[in-house]
A and B are shown apart, each in its own frame.
Chain A
Amino acid sequence: MTFTKRALLQTTLAVAAGAALGRDAHAQAIEQLQLFVPAAPGGGWDQTARTIEAVLRANNQIKTAQVTNVPGAGGVVGLPQFLNQWRGRQNALMVGGMVMVGAIIANKAPVKLTSTQPVARLTGESLVVVVPPDSPFKTAGDFANALKADPAKVPVAGGSAGGSDHILLGMIGKAAGVAANRLSYVAFAGGGPAQAALLGGHVAAGISGFGEFSEQVKAGRLRALAISADTRQPGIDVPTLKEQGIDVELFNWRGVFAPPGVNAAGRDAMVALMRTMTQSAAWQEECKKRDWTSIPLFGDDYAKYVENETTRIEAILKDLGLA
């Protein structure tokens, strides 16, 4: 976050080097990679950026990296800065993901994620529906039926309104034929406080990223009903919603984006950098350690994916009355 003279010098050198080497740049180690994180240090995107840095350095793909954090409102504060001030910067990547797509729509931000140049989707995390151990719900079907019977009697805890947890509940509600505005969603400041409300038996069910609840599930303090992935996940002994007849899938994906104004060669160099990284053993190791599912997707395919997600999420947020 500090911008020292040395960093300035390194940046200047890196830009100069990038310009001089042109399209061969990706063949050797990049002098300095600049990572833009539109969130506070410590969160999921920040961890992604710092893991990218560690892995690329261990692989000798880059020499150094500089991480800039601009926190606020699910990335909506940082994105305009990345689009304007970082325009045309070579060797620069922004970390973002599904949460940002939702935040942009919900906050009616005047900027679009599609104004960046999507480089690569890297990881995804499945969401999970959990209940306290003494809950009458044994399957996702029980949960959906209870919602159908009287959604007001089934308060569900999760992260902030309009976030991925809320979106998943909206999708389950829709699949069960319950109007989104009748759902009883209790928003907490994050997975931690939501978990506390569940452990204390104050709500009927909870939705959050699988990693947030996995330890409680292992210890038997919470019961996992279903995960939101499209297929069974290795190492997770929980059935998907689809398996239980609820046709819903949602991945909290994270990826990287290049700033606008970078030419095709510059973007392709970044795509190559990420492709090599995701194939490396060091990256696979980190993903395993952090319970991230590696779901690589690159360049134009990824750009199309981001566009589809935007349309899909906008529709759900409209149902929830948030867009």
Chain B
Amino acid sequence: METLAALGTGFSVALSPENLLWCLLGTTLGTAIGVLPGLGPALTIALLLPITFQVPATAAFILFAGIYYGAMYGGSTTSILLNTPGESATIVTALEGNKMARSGRAGAALATAAIGSFVAGTVGTLGITFLAPVVVDFALKFGPAEYFSLMVLAFVTVSAVLGSSAVRGLAALFFGIWLGLIGIDLQTGQARFTFGLDELLDGINVIVVAVGLFAVGETFYVAARRYSGNDEIVPLRGSLYMTREEWSRSWKPWLRGSAIGFPIGAMPAGGSEVPTFLSYYTEKKLSKHKEEFGTTGAIEGVAGPEAANNASAAGVLVPMLTLGLPTGATAAIMLSAFQSYGINPGPMLFQSQPQLVWGLIASLYIANIMLLVLNLPLVGLWVKILRIPPPLLYAGILVFATIGTYGISNSPVDLVLLYAIGIIGFLMRRYDFPAAPVIIGMILGPLAEQEFRRAMTISNGDWTVLVSQPLSATLLALAALALLGPMIWRVARK
């Protein structure tokens, strides 16, 4: 009851006309930057930090939260339409979403992404409201050993995206892991695979690789097949929005995605990418339409991961608000904004700044509704992009990808990388190597490596910590089940 009363006060703060305007501004801006590859919420909020000198704290945080949630919505749009992920959290969305767009169901893919984001965002915000202290205690139980086991589970599930040939899939995966290892090693401070280039010391940005492989590689591939003149524009099949069948195929993935995304987002090293992989795997296993995965595009493969990434965005706010722990780049920058107001984010925040915290939480509910209202009508407009003739569309994608990449670090090195990776992407496409495992290897590989070495440093080189801790052992058991389960099942059936 206490929580509800506090939330009521929060709504009275968030519903003031001024704060509603800030929320609207934030969500609109967030959607826009989510669409642009390279411009993420962290960078945008950092650039807006100077305004914190001019407006009250509550207004600034409502604006920031709107940007954060909005970016998660907007990121899926370009993934689906242009195969160009705007955020690393929406890379998985491109897998099925773009396939759906190519078979005339762009509207449904965009709609399930938007509604799924709304559902997950709301579930996540409910989680912040009622479960924050419980979730954070659970999340803190995850130490390096547990994270490593979680990564093992994620690696096993990656087989779902390896494609038809395991050798090609694994080659792509290891290429990704190698890309991820480039840069200074955190545990020893030594540079690895940087070839003497200072620009590579901080590693390669995963967005550069994703945009290079998906968007630039794809453009080269289309261009290489020469312009045959009969480029038929894919007609929209069926209704613009979702059909009854698509609704009934979407709602369970939305809820499952939310359930996977929220707790992992709340984990200090969870992030938003791992839950999207896990959700994609779950949906592919559970779907009654497995044949649509990777061919015409399965709506479950968009609905689940989209819900997972939005729920994880809500999860990230849990340790930030309850403990003052920044677990992602965006949260870290929001924390520095707290400091410029002289507010110390930490375990006391709920007690010392109830107006601010509850106003912020209430504004998250409002932001979710605004984003749905803002994004659904846009679906009709977005799908028209696909009616642009391919030569113009692909030229546009290249411009878009180039500008977005330059925006990440203003570094010409990133542009060279983008096109080099684009050429690799073209060759991979030409020789039928899947691109998704590269990205997954790049994200998971270094995480798994660092967590493993941390676990070994802490345990003094004792391997058994991986199985002696109940949480870690459970995760490894799940991974074994996912790996061996189908085989045993097949043998048993024969």
CB pair A196 B202 closer than 8 Å: no
A185 within 8 A of B: yes
CB pair B268 A196 closer than 8 Å: yes
Which residues of chain A have C-beta atoms less than 8 A from B340's C-beta? 47, 289-290
Q: Digit string of A15-43 for contact with B (CB within 8 Å is 1, else 0)?
A: 00000000000000000000000001111
Known: A161-B188, A216-B323. 18 other contacts (CB 8 A): A1-B47, A1-B410, A42-B329, A42-B336, A47-B340, A73-B202, A107-B184, A107-B198, A155-B458, A160-B184, A160-B189, A188-B454, A192-B327, A196-B269, A199-B325, A200-B143, A221-B347, A322-B188
Chain B residues proximal to chain A, CB less than 8 Å: 42-43, 45-47, 49-50, 53, 140-144, 184-189, 191, 198-199, 201-202, 268-269, 319, 323-327, 329, 331-333, 336, 339-340, 342, 344-348, 409-410, 454, 457-458, 460
Which residues of chain A have C-beta atoms less than 8 A from B347's C-beta? 215-216, 219, 221
A-B CB contact pairs (8 Å), 12 listed? A41-B47, A41-B49, A43-B336, A71-B409, A72-B199, A107-B184, A160-B184, A166-B189, A192-B326, A196-B325, A216-B346, A289-B339
A197 within 8 A of B: yes
Which residues of chain A have C-beta atoms less than 8 A from B269's C-beta? 193, 196
Q: Digit string of A149-187 for contact with B (CB within 8 Å is 1, else 0)?
A: 000110100001110001000000000000000001111
A136 within 8 A of B: no
Which residues of chain B have C-beta atoms less than 8 A from A322's C-beta? 188-189
A61 within 8 A of B: no
Q: Given A77-B198, A77-B202, verify A107-B143 contact (CB < 8 Å).
A: no
CB pair B319 A41 closer than 8 Å: no
CB pair A155 B457 closer than 8 Å: yes
CB pair B198 A109 closer than 8 Å: yes
CA distance A187 to B188 in the complex (A): 8
Q: Digit string of A204-233 for contact with B (CB within 8 Å is 1, else 0)?
A: 000000010011101101000000000000
Report A73-107 residues with CB < 8 Å from chain B CB.
Answer: 73, 76-77, 80, 106-107
Report A45-69 residues with CB < 8 Å from chain B CB.
Answer: 46-47, 50, 53-54
A195 within 8 A of B: yes
CB pair A50 B143 closer than 8 Å: no
**Closest approach, in angstroms, between the C-beta of A238 and any C-beta of chain B?**
16
Q: Given A73-B202, A153-B460, verify A219-B268 contact (CB < 8 Å).
A: no
**Closest approach, in angstroms, between the C-beta of A122 and any C-beta of chain B?**
17
CA distance A196 to B184 in the complex (A): 22
**Closest approach, in angstroms, between the C-beta of A289 and any C-beta of chain B?**
5
Which residues of chain A have C-beta atoms less than 8 A from B187's C-beta? 161, 186-187
CB pair B186 A76 closer than 8 Å: no
Which residues of chain A have C-beta atoms less than 8 A from B142's C-beta? 200
CA distance A197 to B147 in the complex (A): 11
CA distance A139 to B345 in the complex (A): 27
CA distance A161 to B189 in the complex (A): 5
Name which residue of chain B comes closest to A76, CB basis.
Answer: B198
CB pair A161 B460 closer than 8 Å: no
CA distance A196 to B45 in the complex (A): 24
Contact of B49 among A50, A71, A290 (CB under 8 A): A50
CA distance A190 to B201 in the complex (A): 17
CA distance A109 to B198 in the complex (A): 8
Name which residue of chain B comes closest to A198, CB basis.
Answer: B140
Q: Given A42-B333, A186-B457, verify A202-B144 contact (CB < 8 Å).
A: yes
A236 within 8 A of B: no
CB pair A219 B185 closer than 8 Å: no
Chain A residues proximal to chain B, CB less than 8 Å: 1, 40-43, 46-47, 50, 53-54, 70-73, 76-77, 80, 106-107, 109, 152-153, 155, 160-162, 166, 184-190, 192-193, 195-197, 199-200, 202-203, 211, 214-216, 218-219, 221, 289-290, 322
CB pair B332 A190 closer than 8 Å: yes
Contact of B410 among A70, A106, A160, A162 (CB under 8 A): A70
**Closest approach, in angstroms, between the C-beta of B110 and any C-beta of chain A?**
30
CA distance A196 to B199 in the complex (A): 30
Name which residue of chain B comes closest to A214, CB basis.
Answer: B344
CA distance A47 to B184 in the complex (A): 24
CB pair A200 B198 closer than 8 Å: no
CB pair B201 A107 closer than 8 Å: yes
CB pair A40 B46 closer than 8 Å: yes
Q: Given A161-B189, A193-B269, verify A50-B50 contact (CB < 8 Å).
A: yes
Q: Given A161-B186, A289-B342, verify A73-B201 contact (CB < 8 Å).
A: yes
**Closest approach, in angstroms, between the C-beta of A57 and any C-beta of chain B?**
10
**Closest approach, in angstroms, between the C-beta of A245 and any C-beta of chain B?**
28
Which residues of chain B have C-beta atoms less than 8 A from A219's C-beta? 346-348
Which residues of chain B have C-beta atoms less than 8 A from A53's C-beta? 50
Name which residue of chain A comes closest to B335, CB basis.
Answer: A192
CA distance A71 to B43 in the complex (A): 12
Which residues of chain A have C-beta atoms less than 8 A from B49's C-beta? 41-42, 50
CA distance A290 to B346 in the complex (A): 14
Which residues of chain B have C-beta atoms less than 8 A from A50's C-beta? 49-50
Which residues of chain B have C-beta atoms less than 8 A from A192's C-beta? 268, 325-327, 331-332
**Closest approach, in angstroms, between the C-beta of B414 and any C-beta of chain A?**
11
5 nearest A-B residue pairs (beta carbon): A215-B346, A41-B46, A202-B143, A196-B268, A162-B189
CB pair A41 B201 closer than 8 Å: no
CB pair B336 A47 closer than 8 Å: yes
Name which residue of chain B comes closest to A51, CB basis.
Answer: B340
CB pair A185 B457 closer than 8 Å: yes
**Closest approach, in angstroms, between the C-beta of B274 and any C-beta of chain A?**
15
Which residues of chain A have C-beta atoms less than 8 A from B457's C-beta? 155, 184-186
Q: Given A41-B43, A70-B410, verify A193-B327 contact (CB < 8 Å).
A: yes
